[in-house]
Amino acid sequence: MAKIRFATVWLAGCSGCHMSFLDMDEWLIDLAQKVDVVFSPVGSDLKEYPDNVDVCLVEGAIANEENLELALELRQKTKVVISFGDCAVTANVPGMRNMLKGSDPVLRRAYIELGDGTPQLPDEPGIVPPLLDKVIPLHEVIPVDIFMPGCPPDAHRIRATLEPLLNGEHPLMEGRAMIKFG
């Protein structure tokens, strides 16, 4: 049986979902026997999102142009996209900046009003990706196949979502253990 081409992506979030993924402990050994990790911010130096990905966990909201480009690309190249954690599902904490109504007020607040020493706006084209005016959840940009809420989802929920996919089945995303936020 061919291994599943598996990816994880980290957009605008804290990496807590990826840390929870690592909390699956010894089941990661079983997982490694069934998947080829073809892209991930954890233990990988891959820069280009590959073609023909079977399953991708996407952590974080869409907050800047780089996030947007990666989300669009991964949707084109992935069979099953999983919105991984509350930030991906609802924009959660990164979305709190939406209260300031635009990227300019956010940057001014962070770098000018609260800046110390030499307050200045970051502007390094090609290095600092421009912020979008609004932080948005993943499904507002691309079609999402499975929603896995949680801040972060615990290791049990992650395994219960992935294990059926490894067997060619769709996970049952219902009940408090699988769909509780926070």
**pLDDT score of 46 more than 90:** no
Dump the DSSP string for 55-102. EEEEESBEEEHHHHHHHHHHHHHEEEEEEESHHHHH-TGGGGGGGG-S
Q: In what order do the strands lie in the sheet with 53-59?
A: 35-39, 4-10, 53-59, 78-84, 146-148
**pLDDT score of 1 more than 80:** no
- Angstrom distances, CA of residue 113 to CA of 105, 108, 128: 10, 6, 20
Number of Cβ within a 10 Å radius of residue 102: 14
Dump the DSSP string for 118-172. S------TTTSPPEEEEEE-GGGTS--SEEE--SSPPHHHHHHHHHHHHTT----
The pTM of this model reads 0.93
Query: 41 or 139: whose pLDDT is higher?
Result: 139
**pLDDT score of 91 more than 90:** yes
Number of Cβ within a 10 Å radius of residue 117: 5
Q: Exposed, middle or buried: residue 160 (CB in 10 Å: 0-12, 13-18, 19+)?
A: middle
Mean pLDDT over 72-85 rounds to 98
CA 59 to chain centre: 2
Question: What whole-number distance in Å separates Cα of residue 74 and Cα of residue 56?
Answer: 8
The pairing of beta strand 78-84 with beta strand 53-59: parallel
Instruction: State residue 45's pLDDT score.
Output: 73
* CATH ID of 4-98+135-167, from 3.90.1580.10, 3.40.50.700, 2.40.160.210, 1.10.3720.10: 3.40.50.700
Per-residue pLDDT tens digits for 103-154? 999 999 989 999 888 888 887 887 779 999 999 999 999 999 999 999 999 9
Report which of 79, 76, 72, 84 is spatially closest to residue 40, judged by C-alpha positions. Answer: 84
Residue spans of the domains in the chain: they are 4-98+135-167
Q: Exposed, middle or buried: residue 103 (CB in 10 Å: 0-12, 13-18, 19+)?
A: middle
